[in-house]
Structure 1
Amino acid sequence: MTSATPSPPGALTDRPGPTGTTAHAGSSGPPGPAAGLPPRLFLVLIAVCTAVTAANIYVAAPLLPLMAKDFGSTPSGVAWIASVAQFGYAAGLLFFAPLGDRVNRRRLVAALSLATTAALALGAAASGTTALAAAILVASAATVVPQLLVPLVAERAPAHRRASHVAAVIAGLFTGVVAARVVGGLAGQAFGWRAVFLGAAALTAVLGLASAAALPKEKRRRTGPLFAGLAQLPRVVRSSPELRRACVRQGGMYGAWSALWTSLALLLTGDGGDGYGLTTGAAGLFGLFGLAASVVAPVAGGFVDRFGAAKVVASAYGLAAVSVPLFWLGGERLWALCAAAVAVHAALVASHIANQTLALTTTSTPAVANTAYVVAGFAGGAVASALAGAAFTHWGWGGVCAVAAGCLTVGWGATSPVVRGWRIRR
């Protein structure tokens, strides 16, 4: 995993330090070569596996109207299922992501891939929303493979190419997030939501096991309790103001994005008689706007290196703030909805790159810090998704936009220089 010279306790710096490699506790040395794969092919395989596994977290969102019809409910009545996936992923990050430093990643990736496959298959056979939610919870908790592979890619990459290699995997992650909406919506419209779950299960099994087989051989010498990394989380978060700020800001940003994108299918398909009355497949195509915005990833990385994480996050929050009134206007104007979809996704990508860089470079335990950071982001997204579903039921699309605005206000307001100064003076 990339790391940096840690800041002294209490240091308030937003500019990342130099990067290097961090030896993992319990490892006998750097990873060996992959199982016969050229470096470029290995990177492509890991990026594709990351895209597929990340897509599993969001596969339910574009299928909510189809699920509602199957279960005799309304789309807004089953919207809470999408938030279950994010809670499950956050829980999986807490328990499984820190294990990458302590157990054999080959076996861990294979086991988690098979668990995800089984859960998705059970979800496809679910007879009601409770069984479906339970399957999605397990699948999402086990689909933390991307957070195990990103550190490995950083370790294997040449020093002068490390950032570009990690960026390729992150690009795969965001591509998977968007593809889940596009492909899931189209396939669901053509074959039904259960077929989408079965397809996701098959892809996860094939790519997960292929990636596990391609991973370098490792000899782990576990010292201390298996979940020692989890026990370190409170201390690491308390000791780093910069990490806490990154967690809160990304929780707010991801919450706003999640509230809007989770509920977007409800607006586009016209739940309750309001909206555009599009088919599930046509609604899923809106994900292409998010895919277009993913091209900001390399640009945002360069800006972080040049101007520091704080300025990039502030700019991302400004862009997200502009997107909220555009989304509100998009309730009646399709062009505004298209522009807002691009803007909020670009804001999320830029904010994520800047905040994760900050989280990884301001403590001496980057693996634990990264776990805290990603969990905070997905927890914010899960809470916002649940609130957005209820808001849409009671107040329509305007209520969803209000939830998103509230997330941004909390995320930025709780970490703004004015608030920090007031706390210090106290």
Structure 2
Amino acid sequence: MSSAPSATTTGRQARRPPLPAPGTGPGPGPTRGSAAFLTLIAVCTAVTAANIYLAAPLLSLIARDFGSTPSAVAWIASVAQLGYAVGLLFFAPLGDTADRRRLVTVLTLVTTAALLASAVAPGTGALAVAVFVASAGTVVPQLLVPLVAERAPAARRARHVAAVIAGLFTGIVAARVLGGLAGQAFGWRWVFAGAAALTLALGTATALVLPSGRRRRDGSLFGGLAALPGLLRRSPDLWRASVRQAGMFGAWSALWTSLALLLTGPAYGLSTATAGLFGLFGLAASAVAPLAGGLVDRFGAARVVRGAYLLAAVSVPLFWLGGQVVWALFVAAIAIHAALVASHVANQTLALTTTSSPAVANTAYVVSGFAGGATASALAGPAFTHFGWGGVSAVAAVWLALGWGSTAVRR
């Protein structure tokens, strides 16, 4: 067992240009560092990422339309998460091997069709299937992030990745806040129809500017999935980035998914709509991402992740205090979002630049974070039931300790 690499070493690795796939070059497309190209990808990421969370704010409207209760249809939101996980495992690794333009086009068309099917679904079963397919096809952002890292100048790579991550978090917030408002105004079916139109427009526009051509000849639907375990074993930096982000995302998920229970419970007694406005704190992530990207480019990934973990560690006792004092919740919400996005920018930049298979590495990284978040969320519910808000805060603290402690030394 030896100590973890220094911040200087990890910083050099984070800024190292990625190795291109055999037999490929930058290919045709926008000029390197093109602001228009980066903006288009960021906007496309925001629109497509929103599709995963579209059903959550519409559950009460869906239940009313189908003569049910919100709790009886809440599983549809979980189906969306499951569909996204499946899409990550099977489609995201193809970014190393398949023609990106064709792959993004196909996924855009499939997602658009599934969203339209959601808009006209006759019942919850049909809606769940359509939401599952739409979420599985909504992995386009994870195909675009490796491309952005590959085309970016080495000295500004993290800032370019941060721009896409800012779009990702903006889309998530927009889905939860604007989706609910649009649903109240026009009905939940029109929200899905509108999402289909936006997905088709942005996905098609993005596909048209992507480089075309097959990157490798050894690609298959299951090839990237099979390569994940070996890639993690061969790359300690990828393993470290994946585990640390799983710890960070788990802490955030435990607190954020349980926050509505606290706000609508006896402690505060807020309405569901008012509690939902706390989602606006997610906009802090969009503001922090560019700053975090600049810090990673200047100081390296290791220092930024260390600072993010310290900020998250401070936010946990603030969340606990927020069980009685509302101002502590405001400060903690901003702090945990800033920590999450700073850690995400640094860890994802490192994950994308440590192997010659950036799409597979990105899949391993994102799936690890998703698994950490899902597990912590599953534990947070029982913790709140048996121990109250203090139990949720304890779950978050444990997840942070596991994420950092298990990577503090190298195997």
Question: Structure 1 length normalisation: TM-score?
Answer: 0.82
Q: 1:328 aligns with which of 320, 325, 331?
A: 320
Equivalent AA in structure 1 for residue 26 of structure 2: P
Instruction: Give RMSD over aligned pairs.
Output: 3.3
Distance 1:201 1:300 in 2: 32
Partner of 1:53: 48
Partner of 1:22: 19
Distance 2:307 2:73 in 1: 35
C-alpha deviation, 1:206, in angstroms: 1.7
Map 1:3-18 onto structure 2 (within 5 A).
12=5, 14=7, 15-17=10-12, 18=15
Given that 2:115 and 2:196 are in contact with CA atoms closer than 8 Å, whether structure 1 keeps it comes out as yes
Given that 2:244 and 2:407 are in contact with CA atoms closer than 8 Å, whether structure 1 keeps it comes out as yes
Q: 1:355 aligns with which of 326, 347, 353?
A: 347
Given that 2:18 and 2:358 are in contact with CA atoms closer than 8 Å, whether structure 1 keeps it comes out as no
Structure 1 stretches lacking a partner, 5+ long: 1-8
C-alpha deviation, 1:74, in angstroms: 5.0
Pick closer, same or farther for the CA change 1:221–1:412 going to 2, 3 Å: closer
| Identity score, percent | 70
Pick closer, same or farther for the CA change 1:21–1:358 going to 2, 3 Å: closer
Partner of 2:228: 233
Structure 2 stretches lacking a partner, 5+ long: none
Distance 2:129 2:240 in 1: 32
C-alpha deviation, 1:130, in angstroms: 5.0
- The yes-or-no answer on 1:40 pairing with 2:32 is no
Partner of 2:367: 375
Given that 1:294 and 1:345 are in contact with CA atoms closer than 8 Å, whether structure 2 keeps it comes out as no
Partner of 2:68: 72
Partner of 1:4: none
Equivalent AA in structure 1 for residue 96 of structure 2: D
Given that 1:112 and 1:142 are in contact with CA atoms closer than 8 Å, whether structure 2 keeps it comes out as yes
Distance 1:235 1:116 in 2: 31
Given that 1:31 and 1:156 are in contact with CA atoms closer than 8 Å, whether structure 2 keeps it comes out as no
Map 1:1-400 onto structure 2 (within 5 A).
12=5, 14=7, 15-17=10-12, 18-25=15-22, 27=24, 29-34=25-30, 39-67=34-62, 72-73=68-69, 75=71, 80-126=75-121, 131-158=126-153, 161-220=156-215, 222-223=217-218, 225-268=220-263, 270=264, 275-280=268-273, 282-392=274-384, 397-400=389-392
C-alpha deviation, 1:154, in angstroms: 3.3
Pick closer, same or farther for the CA change 1:232–1:178 going to 2, 3 Å: same
Equivalent AA in structure 2 for residue 20 of structure 1: P
Distance 1:139 1:186 in 2: 21
Equivalent AA in structure 2 for residue 251 of structure 1: A
Distance 2:83 2:381 in 1: 18
Q: 177-186 vs 230-239, which deviates more?
A: 177-186
Equivalent AA in structure 2 for residue 314 of structure 1: R
1:20 aligns to what SS in structure 2? Answer: coil
C-alpha deviation, 1:300, in angstroms: 2.2
C-alpha deviation, 1:339, in angstroms: 1.6
Given that 1:317 and 1:408 are in contact with CA atoms closer than 8 Å, whether structure 2 keeps it comes out as yes
Distance 2:69 2:218 in 1: 51
Equivalent AA in structure 2 for residue 352 of structure 1: H
Q: 40-49 vs 156-165, which deviates more?
A: 156-165
Deviations 1:377-402 (A, max 9, x none): 11222233334445556665455434
Distance 1:397 1:33 in 2: 51
2:242 aligns to what SS in structure 1? Answer: helix
Pick closer, same or farther for the CA change 1:105–1:67 going to 2, 3 Å: same
Distance 2:61 2:319 in 1: 24
Given that 1:189 and 1:279 are in contact with CA atoms closer than 8 Å, whether structure 2 keeps it comes out as no
Given that 2:83 and 2:135 are in contact with CA atoms closer than 8 Å, whether structure 1 keeps it comes out as yes
Equivalent AA in structure 2 for residue 249 of structure 1: R
Equivalent AA in structure 2 for residue 105 of structure 1: R
Q: 176-185 vs 99-108, which deviates more?
A: 176-185
Equivalent AA in structure 2 for residue 416 of structure 1: A
Equivalent AA in structure 1 for residue 20 of structure 2: A
Pick closer, same or farther for the CA change 1:292–1:145 going to 2, 3 Å: same
Distance 2:106 2:175 in 1: 23
Given that 1:79 and 1:389 are in contact with CA atoms closer than 8 Å, whether structure 2 keeps it comes out as no
Distance 2:250 2:191 in 1: 26
Deviations 1:184-205 (A, max 9, x none): 2322343344433332222112
Deviations 1:101-154 (A, max 9, x none): 222212211111122223333334456655544433322221110111122233
Pick closer, same or farther for the CA change 1:16–1:158 going to 2, 3 Å: closer
Given that 2:102 and 2:212 are in contact with CA atoms closer than 8 Å, whether structure 1 keeps it comes out as no
C-alpha deviation, 1:79, in angstroms: 5.1
Pick closer, same or farther for the CA change 1:61–1:342 going to 2, 3 Å: farther
C-alpha deviation, 1:375, in angstroms: 1.0
Distance 1:105 1:88 in 2: 21
Q: Which runs of 4+ in 1 moved over 6 A?
A: none
